[in-house]
């Protein structure tokens, strides 16, 4: 990859990470708080996927007209289902449920461990052997996140919101791995579109069921948050991010480390949240652990001799 391609990859990667970073505060805007609830977390989750799914139909039709459409093979449908479970349902639903109860700055610290969780699940999926240093970073990063949650909870009882965040992180990592296995043949952009389109029989009726009875009673900023996560977090952000990875995955993947910092910064003007020293210190520590962990070797498992 030459210098011009590297710059283009880094630029698209920065665009994608910036769009994804606003997901937490925008989701918080959409669902509101326990004191002032707005849209249902279930509507936000399935509604955003339904909107992006309808847009994906148009994109896939355009790809077909251009002669560039790649259709999933029969053997790939289980992976499409796994990807949909992770990125369409699991991660956004449990994130939305959690953010009804905790600030988005809190969620940013917990989900900062997502890249390392994805690498760990990927190593297990592909039957690879992470090095001792990788395992040490995984344990340390998990300990930091749990310590942060215990600190905020004021005791060993973590509460439902923190459990939701852990589930969101795990299912999100699973969805990323499924999508990564589909990308080489289907193409990065078409993977998310096929996942969204195939999920429409579920997302459309569930979104309709949980839609607000009187939309005018929902604050305009909540609708703005919903539109953002539907258009950018669920669709356009993936286009920029996948294009960046296609140009240079190794270098671009490091840009994801700044995503939690951007989420913390966005939460201040968008939500008026206070960024305290404890949150910032834990965020820096977790991100440093992820940075070191992603540089640790992961070896391919040796097959037994026959």
pLDDT tens digits in sequence order for the chain, 306 residues long: 567 777 887 888 889 889 999 999 999 999 999 889 999 999 999 999 999 999 999 999 999 999 999 999 999 999 999 999 999 999 999 999 999 999 998 898 888 888 777 777 777 777 777 788 878 888 888 888 888 887 876 655 568 888 999 899 899 888 888 887 887 788 878 999 999 999 999 999 999 999 999 999 999 999 999 999 999 999 998 888 877 766 655 556 667 778 888 898 899 999 988 888 888 888 888 888 877 876 777 666 554 443
Q: What is the pLDDT of residues 186-222, one digit of tens each?
A: 887 899 999 999 999 999 999 999 999 999 999 999 9
CB 96, CB 31: distance < 8 Å: yes
Other residues' Cβ atoms within 10 Å of the Cβ of residue 56: 24
Give the three-state DSSP class for 66.
coil
**Beta-sheet strands, E only, within 79-172:** 128-130
| Residues ≥6 apart with Cβ < 8 Å to 11 | 244
Exposed, middle or buried by CB within 10 Å (0-12, 13-18, 19+), for 261?
Answer: middle
Q: What is the DSSP letter of 119?
A: H
CB 286, CB 145: distance < 8 Å: yes
Q: What is the pLDDT of residues 71-100, one digit of tens each?
A: 999 999 999 999 999 999 999 999 999 999
Instruction: State residue 155's pLDDT score.
Output: 57
Buried b (16+ CB within 10 A) or exposed e, 6-33: eebbbbbbbbbbbbbbbbbbbbbbbbbe
Nearest Cα to Cα of residue 109 among 282, 293, 288: 282
């Amino acid at each position: 990859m030459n210098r011009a391609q590297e710059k283009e990859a880094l630029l698209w990667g920065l665009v994608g990470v910036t769009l994804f970073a606003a997901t937490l505060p925008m989701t918080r805007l959409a669902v509101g708080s326990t004191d002032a609830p707005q849209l249902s977390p279930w509507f936000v989750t399935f509604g955003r996927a339904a909107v992006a799914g309808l847009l994906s139909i148009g994109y896939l039709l355009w790809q077909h007209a251009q002669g560039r459409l790649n259709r999933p093979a029969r053997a790939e449908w289980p992976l499409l289902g796994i990807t949909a479970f992770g990125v369409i349902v699991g991660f956004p639903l449990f994130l939305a449920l959690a953010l009804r109860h905790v600030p988005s700055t809190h969620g940013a610290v917990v989900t900062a461990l997502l890249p390392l969780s994805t690498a760990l699940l990927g190593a297990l999926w592909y039957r690879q052997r992470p090095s001792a240093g990788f395992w040490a970073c995984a344990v340390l990063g998990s300990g930091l996140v749990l310590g942060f949650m215990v600190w905020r909870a004021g005791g060993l009882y973590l509460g439902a919101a923190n459990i939701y965040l852990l589930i969101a992180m795990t299912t999100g990592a699973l969805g990323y791995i499924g999508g990564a296995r589909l990308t080489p043949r289907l193409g990065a952009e078409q993977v998310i579109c096929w996942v969204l389109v195939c999920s429409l029989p579920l997302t459309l009726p569930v979104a309709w069921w949980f839609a607000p009875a009187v939309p005018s009673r929902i604050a305009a900023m909540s609708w703005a948050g919903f539109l953002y996560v539907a258009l950018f977090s669920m669709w356009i952000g993936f286009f920029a991010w996948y294009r960046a990875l296609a140009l240079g995955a190794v270098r671009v993947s490091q840009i994801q480390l700044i995503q939690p910092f951007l989420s913390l910064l966005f939460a201040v003007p968008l939500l008026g949240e206070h960024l305290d020293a404890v949150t910032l210190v834990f965020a820096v520590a977790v991100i440093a652990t992820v940075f070191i962990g992603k540089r640790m070797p992961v070896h391919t498992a040796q097959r037994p001799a026959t």
